[in-house]
Structure 1
Amino acid sequence: MQTIKVGNMSVKTGEKASGYVEVKDTEIELPVTIICGDKEGKTIFISGGVHNAEYVGIQTAIEIANEISPSKLTGNLIILPLMNRTGFEHRTMSMVYEDGKNLNREFPGNQQGTVADKICYTVVTEFQKNADYYIDLHCGDGYEDLTPYVYCVGAAAPEVVKKARAMAEVVNVPYLVQSPCGTGGSYNYAGSCGIPSILIERGCLGIWSKEEVELGKEDVRNVLRYLGVLEGDVSKRTYNPTDVGTVIYKNAGHTGCWYPTKRSGDTFKKGEILGYIKDYFGNVLEICVAEMDGILLYQVSSLSIIKGGSMVAYGENPNQK
Structure 2
Amino acid sequence: MKTMKIGNICAEAGEKSSGYVKVKGTDIELPVTVICGEKEGKTVFISGGVHNAEYVGIQTAIEIADEILPSKLTGNLIILHLMNRTGFEHRTMSLVYEDGKNLNREFPGSDQGTVADKICHTVVTEFQKNADYYIDLHCGDGYEELIPYVYCVGAAAPEVVHKARQMAELVNVPYLVQSPCVSGGSYNYAGSCGIPSILIERGCMGRWSKEEVELGKQDVRNVLRYLGVLEGNVSQRTYNPVDVGNVIYKNAEHSGCWYPTKKVGYTFKNGEVLGEVKDYFGNVLETCVAEMNGILLYQVGSLCIIKGGPMVAYGENPNEK
Seq. identity, %: 84
In the TM superposition, residue 13 of structure 1 has moved relative to its aligned partner by 0.9
Write out per-residue CA displacement over residues 28-58 of structure 1, whole angstroms, 9 at most, x where no aligned residue.
0000000000111000000000000000000
Match of 1:4 in 2: 4
Match of 1:163 in 2: 163
Q: TM-score, normalised by structure 1?
A: 0.99
Match of 1:261 in 2: 261
For 2:246 and 2:238, locate their aligned partners in 1 and report how far apart those are by CA, in whole Å.
24
Letter in 2 for 1:43: T
Match of 1:177 in 2: 177
Match of 1:203 in 2: 203
Q: Report which stretch shifted further, 61-70 or 6-15.
A: 6-15
In the TM superposition, residue 282 of structure 1 has moved relative to its aligned partner by 0.5
For 1:168 and 1:35, locate their aligned partners in 2 and report how far apart those are by CA, in whole Å.
23
Write out per-residue CA displacement over residues 59-113 of structure 1, whole angstroms, 9 at most, x where no aligned residue.
0000000000000000100000100000000000000000000000000000010
For 2:9 and 2:38, locate their aligned partners in 1 and report how far apart those are by CA, in whole Å.
18
Divergent runs of 4+, >3 A: none
For 2:202 and 2:32, locate their aligned partners in 1 and report how far apart those are by CA, in whole Å.
22
In the TM superposition, residue 181 of structure 1 has moved relative to its aligned partner by 0.1
Match of 2:252 in 1: 252
State the secondary structure of the residue aligned to 1:34.
Answer: strand
Q: Is residue 2:276 matched to residue 1:276?
A: yes
State the secondary structure of the residue aligned to 1:190.
Answer: helix
Match of 1:114 in 2: 114
For 1:306 and 1:222, locate their aligned partners in 2 and report how far apart those are by CA, in whole Å.
38
Q: Is residue 2:317 matched to residue 1:317?
A: yes
For 1:262 and 1:175, locate their aligned partners in 2 and report how far apart those are by CA, in whole Å.
18
State the secondary structure of the residue aligned to 1:195.
Answer: coil
Match of 1:88 in 2: 88
The 5-angstrom pairing of residues 45-124 of structure 1 reads 45-124=45-124
In the TM superposition, residue 315 of structure 1 has moved relative to its aligned partner by 1.0
Match of 1:212 in 2: 212
In the TM superposition, residue 120 of structure 1 has moved relative to its aligned partner by 0.2
Q: Is residue 2:200 matched to residue 1:186?
A: no
For 1:201 and 1:307, locate their aligned partners in 2 and report how far apart those are by CA, in whole Å.
24
For 1:237 and 1:294, locate their aligned partners in 2 and report how far apart those are by CA, in whole Å.
25
Letter in 2 for 1:198: I
For 2:320 and 2:282, locate their aligned partners in 1 and report how far apart those are by CA, in whole Å.
35
Match of 1:242 in 2: 242
Match of 1:229 in 2: 229
Number of matched residues? 321
Write out per-residue CA displacement over residues 259-309 of structure 1, whole angstroms, 9 at most, x where no aligned residue.
000111111111110000011111111110011111110000111111110
Q: TM-score, normalised by structure 2?
A: 0.99
In the TM superposition, residue 12 of structure 1 has moved relative to its aligned partner by 1.3
For 1:251 and 1:27, locate their aligned partners in 2 and report how far apart those are by CA, in whole Å.
34
The 5-angstrom pairing of residues 293-312 of structure 1 reads 293-312=293-312
For 1:157 and 1:227, locate their aligned partners in 2 and report how far apart those are by CA, in whole Å.
19
State the secondary structure of the residue aligned to 1:319.
Answer: helix
For 2:292 and 2:232, locate their aligned partners in 1 and report how far apart those are by CA, in whole Å.
42
For 1:147 and 1:275, locate their aligned partners in 2 and report how far apart those are by CA, in whole Å.
17
Write out per-residue CA displacement over residues 167-221 of structure 1, whole angstroms, 9 at most, x where no aligned residue.
0000000000000000000000000000000000000000000000000000000
In the TM superposition, residue 252 of structure 1 has moved relative to its aligned partner by 0.3
For 1:295 and 1:224, locate their aligned partners in 2 and report how far apart those are by CA, in whole Å.
30
Letter in 2 for 1:220: V
In the TM superposition, residue 314 of structure 1 has moved relative to its aligned partner by 0.4
Match of 1:13 in 2: 13
Match of 2:39 in 1: 39
Letter in 2 for 1:257: C
State the secondary structure of the residue aligned to 1:35.
Answer: strand
For 2:245 and 2:300, locate their aligned partners in 1 and report how far apart those are by CA, in whole Å.
22
Q: Is residue 2:143 matched to residue 1:143?
A: yes
Q: Which runs of 5+ in 1 are unaligned?
A: none
In the TM superposition, residue 245 of structure 1 has moved relative to its aligned partner by 1.1
In the TM superposition, residue 4 of structure 1 has moved relative to its aligned partner by 1.2
Q: Which runs of 5+ in 2 are unaligned?
A: none
The 5-angstrom pairing of residues 280-295 of structure 1 reads 280-295=280-295
For 1:12 and 1:40, locate their aligned partners in 2 and report how far apart those are by CA, in whole Å.
11
Match of 1:27 in 2: 27
For 1:122 and 1:271, locate their aligned partners in 2 and report how far apart those are by CA, in whole Å.
44
